[in-house]
Amino acid sequence: MSPTSSSTLPDETPSLGLRRAGYTITAALLALVVGIAAADAIEAVAILGVDSRTVSANGGGVDLEVTYGAVSRPALATPFDIEVHQAGGFDGPVRVAVDREYFRMWDENGLVPAPSAETVMGAWLVWEFDPPLGDTLRVTYDARIEPAAQEGRSGAVAVLDAEDAVLTQVAFTTRLWP
Amino acid sequence: MEIVVRASIIFFFLLLLTRGMKKRSLTNMAPFEMLLLVTLGDIVQQGVTQEDMSLTGAVLAVSTFAFWITVLTWATWRWRRVGKLVDGVPMVIVRDGVPIDEVLATERLPLDELHEAARQEGIADLAEVRFAILEPSGRISFIKA
């Protein structure tokens, strides 16, 4: 056929096998993506978030338990709760230190209860809470992941004594899907 | 990952909506019908993704829609009955030059729209038409006498 032909017909017959393979692969990929997401929605798997985990440690007569978001996504509310327990109750303020770098991916709404004092100590953000009624202090960090956050961070929480010595400490990592 | 569930619900709701609207709405919208189309995306988006601003959430929402479209496309090809249910059936609206009023009333198709469609096909008089068929897509096909 000459280059200046006025025919509107395609120059060659497309390979039906290739087209069929392309459609099948696309359909299979869609089914896989939707299937994984559906399994995550019913908690058969924990891949896409928001999924939380709990880590704990004890030392110096204090039990520390942190529930954190193991997997999350930008702009989603994600759990971050700290529980400090001391049998018999607390004699004085409870000092909790959190890795400052961990908070860089958070958009804070509030901290409950509010600390009576707050300071920094190197890489740590140190909160001081009035001793709770009973022998357990529960702190809830009401926040969501920053909308612009694209990668997760590792963090740590420690309980300090009055001389800033670490009584016990836990570490964790929050993974983000873009 | 409940985005998949919400996206699926919205997809089937929109499918029901488009099936329930008069067929001509799909191709030839009145201004008030255009309003719905323009705002529909914004209205449903929040219901699907809510506060999820992640790339992952967007990919999942779009993939869910594409998945159901793929499933329905295959099902309508595989089973004719499904095709009739999902796409609808063609309906004769003019026979031997005479508009069938009952069908026009059911489809809420004004005679003026029928005349407009005929003019677009170069037909000056419905007497020239043996059959006019309202297709599932909302287009009107004319078969001349």
Identify the bridge partners of residue A22 per DSSP, sorted by sequence position: none
Q: B61-82 pLDDT, tens per residue?
A: 999 999 999 999 999 999 999 9
Find the helix packing angle between B3-20 and A16-41, rounded to 10°: 120
Q: What is the DSSP string of A120-154?
A: EETTEEEEEEPPPSSSEEEEEEEEEE-TT--S-EE
User: Residue A46's closest chain B neighbor by CA?
Assistant: B1
Q: Which residues of chain A have pLDDT under 70?
A: 1-4
Distance CA B57, CA A46 (A): 15
Prediction ipTM score: 0.72
Contact A30 B60 (CB under 8 A): no
Distance from CA of B47 to the nearest CA of A (A): 15
Q: Is B4 helix (H, G, I), strand (E, B) or coil?
A: helix
Distance from CA of A89 to the nearest CA of B (A): 40
Contact B52 A75 (CB under 8 A): yes
Identify the bridge partners of residue A98 per DSSP, sorted by sequence position: A125, A157
Q: What is the mean pLDDT of chain B?
A: 86
User: Residue B66's closest chain A neighbor by CA?
Assistant: A30
Q: What is the mean pLDDT of chain A?
A: 91
Tell me which chain B residues have a C-beta less than 8 angstroms from the C-beta of A177: 54-56
For residues B25-48, give the mean pLDDT: 73
| pLDDT reported for residue B25 | 58
Q: What share of chain B is helix, strand, coil (3-state, %, to 5)?
A: 65, 10, 25
Kindly report whether the global pTM for this prediction surpasses the value 0.90: no
Least confident of A10-24, B47-61, B74-88, B115-129: A10-24
User: Residue A51's closest chain B neighbor by CA?
Assistant: B1
Both tokens assigned to A114: 């509010």
Please report the residues numbered 79 through 138 in chain A whose beta carbons come closer than 8 angstroms to any beta carbon of chain B: none
| pLDDT reported for residue B2 | 80
Least confident of A117-121, A134-138, B15-19, B120-124: B15-19
Evaluate whether B79 touches B22 at the Cβ level (below 8 Å): no
Evaluate whether A74 touches A148 at the Cβ level (below 8 Å): yes
Q: Which residues contact B114 (CB under 8 A, 6 or more apart)?
A: B93, B94, B99, B104, B126, B132, B140
| pLDDT reported for residue A7 | 82
Higher pLDDT, A163 or B23: A163
A75 at the B interface (CB within 8 A)? yes
Q: A109-154 pLDDT, tens per residue?
A: 899 999 999 999 999 999 999 999 999 999 999 999 999 888 899 9
A27 at the B interface (CB within 8 A)? yes
Contact A33 B59 (CB under 8 A): yes
Q: B17 falls in which pLDDT band (50, 70, 90)?
A: confident
Among the partner-chain residues A37, A38, A75, the one whose CB lies closest to the CB of B51 is A75
Contact A34 B52 (CB under 8 A): no
